[in-house]
Amino acid sequence: MNPVLPSRVGKRMRLGLVGAGRWGSRYITTCDGLEGVQLALVASRNPATAQRAPPGCEVVEDWHSALEPRRLDGLILATPPAAHFEMALACVRTGLPVLVEKPLTLDHGQAQRLERAASDFDCLVMVDHTHLFSSAYEELKARARELEGPLRVRGMGGNNGPFRADVSALWDWGPHDLSMTLDLLALPPVAASARAISVGEPQEPGKMVIHAELGFPDGAHAELTFGNLMKARRRIFEVHGVNGALIYDDLAADKLIARDRSGVCTPVRLSRTPPLTRAVLAFRDAIRAGTREHPSLPLAVRVVEALHCIDRKLATPPTPPAGAAAPAAPTGHAAAGGRNH
């Protein structure tokens, strides 16, 4: 980490935002009135954006305007994932700190190239895997070592939708579970399997529920189920060890429960600050401190690599045993197990 830059101490960070869709609109709401942050520019082609932007925020159509020297202290990208690489790389080459929504890119080679460019140009790139900024996940991670391993992870996340033309269920929902798993276990998986347990019609390849399993060199194991064909919204992340379990349920009143070896469950007290607010504040603080490297970037590259691995597993039909008929393609909803999201 570089030393604190005197010119930025106590300064309101002038942030820009590219994209004002469903998630971009949440950034507008989050940044408005946030201490030490001024949303100074929003790049969007949606005519309604001017009504959503806070007073004093400039609304432009061309995102390149954000790259003008000394105009902004940092830029947030809440665009479709296919645009992330071009935009983030442009920020890096101009030295503008950038916060990118998940997934970092849709191509592992591009993710690696962006990571190298951030190093070469000494520029901050952060990635918002939202649940990593949740106080519940942060506390879970801090306590997980006490469980003693090898750890077993069970994750379930999804909903009935959204159905997006630009990104599949794997690339939309998978980054959440994979980012928590890879961050928590801190090792690359050595084995992986994946299958679709629920799929849409043949003309709807982006609709599915996926079950993936990952094995790790220390004996840890993860089972993750996620997708956009679930009957209801779910987001749960469980970690089990010798000494009990930690259960993060984002939809529960008590978002984190600690369960001891005897089965006694205790709610964990947490900060109520929303994860997106925490992400923006972390970006603000990193810019203010002159940070040039952030752990969310190499993690995001590993997440993209894992997504590609699962994508290949899904595209490769299983080999049936000798003399056995090939299994039929799965259709309709299948029981996924686990807790409600």
Instruction: Say what the pLDDT of residue 202 is.
Output: 76
Global pTM reads: 0.89
In this prediction, what percent of the chain has a pLDDT beyond 70? 89
Instruction: Say what the pLDDT of residue 52 is.
Output: 92
Phi, psi of 320 (to 5 degrees): -70, 155
Give the pLDDT band (50/70/90) at residue 215. Answer: very high
Instruction: Say what the pLDDT of residue 96 is.
Output: 98
Instruction: Say what the pLDDT of residue 3 is.
Output: 41
DSSP letters, 187-222, are S--SEEEEEEEEE--TT-TT-EEEEEEEE-TTS-EE
Dig out the tokens for 176 from the structure: 């959440």
Determine whether 79 is exposed, middle or buried from the number of CB atoms within 10 Å of its CB (0-12, 13-18, 19+).
buried
Instruction: Say what the pLDDT of residue 316 is.
Output: 74
* C-beta atoms surrounding 191 within 10 Å: 10
Give the pLDDT band (50/70/90) at residue 262. Answer: very high
Amino acid residing at 157: G
* Tens-place pLDDT, residues 167-177: 999 999 999 99
Instruction: Say what the pLDDT of residue 319 is.
Output: 52
Decide the pairing of beta strands 74-77 and 98-101: parallel
Dig out the tokens for 59 from the structure: 């609304």
Q: How far apart are CA 37 and CA 49, in angstroms?
A: 19
Q: How far apart are CA 249 and CA 338, in angstroms?
A: 11
CA nearest 304: which of 137, 122, 81, 120? Answer: 81
Does the pLDDT at position 341 exceed 70? Answer: no
Q: Are 288 and 4 in contact (CB under 8 A)?
A: yes
Instruction: Say what the pLDDT of residue 335 is.
Output: 30
Instruction: Say what the pLDDT of residue 9 is.
Output: 55
Does the pLDDT at position 299 exceed 60? Answer: yes
* Tens-place pLDDT, residues 6-22: 445 568 899 999 999 99
All domains in the chain, ordered by first residue: 6-129+277-293 (3.40.50.720), 132-273+307-315 (3.30.360.10)
* Tens-place pLDDT, residues 125-161: 999 999 999 999 999 999 999 999 899 999 999 999 9
Does the pLDDT at position 340 exceed 60? Answer: no
* Tens-place pLDDT, residues 23-66: 999 999 999 989 999 999 999 998 899 999 999 999 999 999 99
Does the pLDDT at position 331 exceed 50? Answer: no
Instruction: Say what the pLDDT of residue 327 is.
Output: 37
Alpha helices in the chain (DSSP H): 22-31, 49-52, 84-94, 108-120, 135-144, 169-185, 275-289, 296-315
* Average pLDDT of span 247-261: 97
Dig out the tokens for 39 from the structure: 């949303």
Instruction: Say what the pLDDT of residue 33 is.
Output: 83
Determine whether 298 is exposed, middle or buried from the number of CB atoms within 10 Å of its CB (0-12, 13-18, 19+).
middle
Decide the pairing of beta strands 152-160 and 229-241: antiparallel
Lowest mean pLDDT: which of 287-296, 297-306, 314-323?
314-323
Instruction: Say what the pLDDT of residue 270 is.
Output: 97
Does the pLDDT at position 4 exceed 80? Answer: no
Give the pLDDT band (50/70/90) at residue 312. Answer: very high
Paired residues of 158 in beta bridges: 227, 234
* Average pLDDT of span 250-263: 97
Which secondary structure element, helix H or strand E, spans residue 127, and what is its range?
Answer: strand 125-128
Would you give the end-to-end CA distance of the chain in angstroms? 37
Does the pLDDT at position 1 exceed 90? Answer: no
Instruction: Say what the pLDDT of residue 318 is.
Output: 53
